[in-house]
């Protein structure tokens, strides 16, 4: 168990530094802080211009969604870059527990996602006049943590797909943009066609954002418990799917050399 935990924490954080392309300040500040900030301003102003929803609708939606900057891109890189660096061979040749290796990489991603979200919420408060009651902050924080967990789990699945797919960056970008459309970030789910809102309900973020909006407007945690649990369930499902796919690919790779470009 101790072995498992050190692979999980120590291994996870070393690998993250090695695999996450944007860790240097020169890359980190523009992509992880700059881009979310301007995304927030863009959609809030667009919403104001379209006169569709309240200002807080966009601020909460985008502040939560930007965690995907870390969860989707960061996690995809933390898994799929193994192939790019040619380190997948040595990794697979090691006896380490795969779940510990795989889930451990989610930890730093998760922490970073929280930071990005928190930064964007603060920016919304300072620049755009977002004013949740102080009492709402702890509940809001909890909801955001859960949502970032599920987004990171989704990133794990994308990362595993990226191990096999040639162009994982394409998938990560596409996932990020589609979240803006499907997950109720900028458009209420009930204004989307039925099939689109159905897709949205199977994705991470959707329930978390809905819960965050209610909590920010003063609702208690008890009131949004169902949404939070659903989001957690979605997280578990994606993490399990990602790990299972990783295992399948490893097995397939031994059988028919599918990952053999390492």
Partner 1 sequence: MRTLRVIASGFRMNLKMLGTSSFFLLTSVVQPIIFATVAFYMFRSGGRNGTLLYASLGAGMMGVWSTTLFGSGGMIQWQRWQGTLELGAAAPPAIALIYLPFSLANAFTGMYAMAATLVWGRVVFGIPLHFAHPWLFALSLPATVIALGLMGLVLASTFILYRHANALSNLLEYPVWIASGLVFSTSLLPDWTRPISWCLPPYWGVLAIRHAALGGDVRGPLGMVLALGLASLAISSVTFRWFEHAARARATLSLT
Partner 2 sequence: MLVIEAVDLRRTYRTTTGVIRRRPLDVEAVRGVSFAVEQGELFGLLGPNGAGKTTTIKMLITLLLPTSGDARVLGMDVVSQARDVRKRIGYVFGGDRGLYERLSARDNLRYFAELYGVSGKAQRTRIDEVLELVGLKGREQERVEGYSRGMRQRLHIARGILHDPEVVFLDEPTIGVDPVGARELRQTIADLIAAGKTVLLTTHYMFEADALCDRIAVIAKGEIVGEGTPAALKAGVAEGRVTEIEVFGVDDGVLSRLRVVDGVRAVTVEERDQKQLLVVQCAADRELTAPLLAQLDGFEVGRVTSREPTLEDAYVALVGAGD
Point out which residues bind partner 1 (CB under 8 A). 22, 24, 26-27, 29-31, 34-35, 38-39, 41-42, 45-53, 167, 169-170, 173-174, 177-178, 180-181, 186-188, 191-192
Q: Name the residue nearer to partner 1 (CB basis): 176 or 246.
A: 176
Site string for partner 2, 78-107 (x = CB under 8 A): -------xxx-xxxxxxxx----x------
CA 10 → CA 5, 103, 152, 190, distances in Å?
Answer: 8, 12, 18, 44
DSSP-derived letter for residue 10 is I
CB of 92 to partner 2, least distance (A): 6
255 binds, among partner 2, partner 1, none (CB under 5 to 8 A by kind): partner 2
- 118 Cβ neighbours under 8 A, 6+ residues apart: 144
Sites for partner 2 among residues 202-261 (CB under 8 A): 253-257
- Which of residues 10 and 174 has its CB atom nearest to partner 2 in the complex? 10
Q: CB of residue 151 vs partner 1: minimum separation in angstroms? A: 18
Token pair, residue 44, equals: 């809030």
Find out whether 121 and 261 touch, Cβ atoms under 8 Å.
no
Helix, strand and coil content of the chain, in percent to the nearest 5, comes to 80, 0, 20
Distance CA 240, CA 213 (A): 28
Of partner 1, partner 2, none, which one sits near residue 222, judging by CB under 5 to 8 A according to partner kind? none
- Cβ atoms of 97 and 147 within 8 Å: the answer is no
Binding interface with partner 2 (CB under 8 A): 3, 6-7, 10-11, 14-15, 17-19, 23, 85-87, 89-96, 101, 253-257, 262
């Amino acid at each position: 168990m101790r072995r498992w935990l050190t692979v999980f924490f120590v291994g996870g954080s070393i690998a993250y530094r090695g695999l996450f392309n944007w860790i240097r300040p020169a890359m980190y500040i523009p992509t992880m802080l700059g881009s979310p900030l301007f995304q927030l301003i863009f959609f809030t102003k667009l919403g104001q211009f379209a006169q569709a929803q309240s200002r807080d609708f966009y601020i909460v939606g985008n502040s939560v969604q930007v965690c995907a900057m870390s969860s989707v891109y960061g996690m995809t890189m933390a898994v799929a870059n193994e192939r790019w660096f040619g380190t997948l061979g040595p990794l697979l040749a090691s006896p380490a527990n795969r779940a510990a290796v795989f889930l451990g990489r989610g930890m730093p991603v998760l922490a970073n996602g929280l930071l990005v979200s928190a930064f964007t919420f603060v920016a919304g408060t300072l620049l755009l006049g977002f004013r949740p009651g102080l009492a709402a902050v702890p509940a809001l924080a909890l909801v955001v943590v859960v949502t970032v967990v599920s987004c990171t789990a989704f990133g794990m699945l994308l990362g595993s797909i990226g191990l096999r797919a040639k162009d994982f960056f394409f998938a990560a970008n596409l996932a990020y943009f589609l979240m803006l459309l499907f997950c109720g970030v900028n458009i209420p789910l009930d204004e989307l066609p039925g099939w689109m809102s159905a897709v949205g309900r199977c994705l991470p973020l959707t329930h978390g954002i809905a819960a965050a909006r209610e909590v920010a407007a003063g609702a208690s945690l008890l009131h949004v418990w169902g949404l939070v649990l659903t989001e957690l369930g979605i997280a578990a499902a994606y993490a399990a799917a990602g790990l299972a796919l990783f295992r399948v690919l490893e097995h397939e790779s031994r059988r028919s050399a599918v990952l053999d470009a390492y």
